[in-house]
Amino acid sequence: MRMVRPTVEQLRANYEMLRSLPPFSRWEMPPVERVEFVLKGIRRRRHKGDKPLRGQCVYLGRKRWRVYVAPHRELYGVVATLAHEMVHIHEDVAKLPWSTRRGRYIHGPSFQRAADEVCRELGFPRACF
């Protein structure tokens, strides 16, 4: 099956589109210049039994982030993954408490509340977050 592989410029444009829509437009999301985008297959699994990663967000320091997005079968998946990673950026910027289990980051209550808001406002199915 053919995979959707947007360019970095297209990922940047989608970030700006999402950033202009609520709830992202109400949050202090960094400008696109502070986010580096990388399109690549993310096959690495952190722990046995983990699902393959569709995206990943890494804080680089100095208010800069790197967002990895894997190719998807549908454009919708790319946009949903980008929105998911933007919730992680929101967690960083708003200094929301991160949740961990046995030293590993988990999508805890603050992430879940923000994801609920994104899904409610933008119509993403909650299961995709």
Burial class (CB in 10 A: 0-12, 13-18, 19+), 50: exposed
In the chain the domains, ranked by start, together with CATH numbers, are 8-128 (3.30.2010)
Q: How crowded is the C-beta side of 12, counted as CA atoms within 13 Å?
A: 10
| pLDDT (average), residues 91-100 | 91
pLDDT of residue 2: 86
Q: Quick: pLDDT tens for 12-62.
A: 999 999 999 999 999 999 999 999 999 876 555 555 555 666 888 888 888
| pLDDT (average), residues 103-122 | 94
Rounded to whole angstroms, the Cα distance separating 125 from 127 reads 5
